Structure 1
């Protein structure tokens, strides 16, 4: 029967969303109740950040497991220092305040995926001589400060493509596309404008989609996970005509942030605008998009004026 009951961690919230970033100090309380007098060898608090990947795939007829790990930091402090005889604590409720600083540096945000995760964990541990230690853990919601650089560089994003259709539908197709900003947050609506010049004998339809590409890496292998989050279809662009088409894409509320600064996991987003042409390779404009927290937003852009 454990002599240590109600072992808890509580944090003092520093940000509205309860998140932490590089250089922040985690302030809180370790509390527990002793059912009798206990001699404690040490009471420690520890915070660490790790990225891990793991997946199984067939190589040469054999199933192989690929793994990788990256540690970003580990900090530790003693609330009760180690002594040979231990520190006696009386029966009852005990509370210990702590302050633990997260190191500075370029660290990725928290992430959980099918084949990998980036986790930041806070742990308190009570050690006693000749007894198994008692511990309590709590995940930290970590948001990287490196997102600030994207907000500062936010601007409209444009691209263009042209293609000869060839075959029985000789002619040329040109398309330019613009998104009103290259950085947005979950739940926001993105404005996409495409200008199409169809100088061919075929009808075609513009299509818009938001793709998420997650890449997991080990030392010698990578694994991609591609997901289409949104897809919209525009009206028909008739042969030998020009038309400007706009589309409003609402970013899902539960979409995860971009992961751009982790060596073994990346999460990237793309707006793809393409023309659906029968029996031909579809011309496509690919526009990179960063999905970031609004916490570090410097400003909000205006509406796009078009490509």
Structure 2
């Protein structure tokens, strides 16, 4: 086989091996051939795109596949271009290293994401074309973490509060708030719960941080939820009057950053406070950022 190796790699810019809007990626395409070889072209390609796809079943024999794509950028650059009259270029046998530099577009784009229903990928590719032969390809994904969109309504509002009234044997009023709605992974979230317990029973509010994934295609929506963590606050005794309970929750470091800037895929984190399975409030939408 003439082509022994086609490989693409890039240099990390930080210890987390992540990139963001406007960053420059430096790397190289490595091509190794066993002898002098005719090449029509060697392309460097960078792409960012999203895709969702799922199947829904109707009855026993009817199914429908829903899918949608969204593209963010597609860049192509000739590393080797034909220069001879026969439309080829000749390279000598051995190992060849072709450096490249790619600047990620500095505009609003969603972070990398992967699931069985949808994904957002940012990747680099190399394509080698030779006459009368199949294209040879190499690719590598890089982790893109989008900068926070500070234009999101309510994102930086402090002391965001929601109030709910439960009609139990007597009225029990619950308010809860977080100090802000924008958090870095690994950061502490302060949750304040205000309870005016005029009922005869004691209550023990429970907190749940959960992930909500929404996928959109052809007028349909598919939603998935997953619990991230659960916490319990202190007990508030019956007829104890107004009490203030504070709970500190650490946002897990391994969370994928929120995705709110993609039209076909949305990743949200929500906080729910409950007394029981049928008495709860879920209304604070929190945005997380990668470190």
For residues 28 and 95 of structure 1, the distance between their equivalents in structure 2, rounded to whole angstroms, comes to 10
Where 2:13 maps in the other structure, the secondary structure is: coil
Partner of 1:76: 76
- Aligned partners of 1:48 and 1:121 also within 8 Å: yes
Structure 1: segments with no counterpart, 5+ residues: 295-307
Please tell me whether residue 290 in structure 1 is matched to residue 290 in structure 2: no
More deviation, 62-71/247-256: 247-256
Where 2:18 maps in the other structure, the secondary structure is: coil
- Aligned partners of 1:57 and 1:65 also within 8 Å: yes
The Cα of 1:39 is off from its aligned counterpart by: 1.0
- Aligned partners of 1:163 and 1:283 also within 8 Å: no
The Cα of 1:276 is off from its aligned counterpart by: 2.9
Correspondences of 1:19-38 after superposition (within 5 Å)? 19-38=18-37
The Cα of 1:238 is off from its aligned counterpart by: 2.1
Correspondences of 1:202-281 after superposition (within 5 Å)? 202-241=201-240, 242-276=242-276, 281=278
Partner of 1:297: none
Structure 2: segments with no counterpart, 5+ residues: none
- Aligned partners of 2:148 and 2:289 also within 8 Å: no
Q: Please give the root-mean-square deviation of Cα atoms over the aligned residues, in Å.
A: 2.2
TM-score (norm 2): 0.89
Please state which structure has a larger fraction of its residues in strand.
2
For residues 136 and 148 of structure 1, the distance between their equivalents in structure 2, rounded to whole angstroms, comes to 37
For residues 94 and 156 of structure 1, the distance between their equivalents in structure 2, rounded to whole angstroms, comes to 56
Partner of 1:299: none
Where 2:258 maps in the other structure, the secondary structure is: coil
For residues 171 and 204 of structure 2, the distance between their equivalents in structure 1, rounded to whole angstroms, comes to 15
- Aligned partners of 1:176 and 1:285 also within 8 Å: no
Q: Deviations over 1:36-85 (max 9, x none)?
A: 11011111100011111111122355222111111111000001113433
Equivalent pairs, count: 286
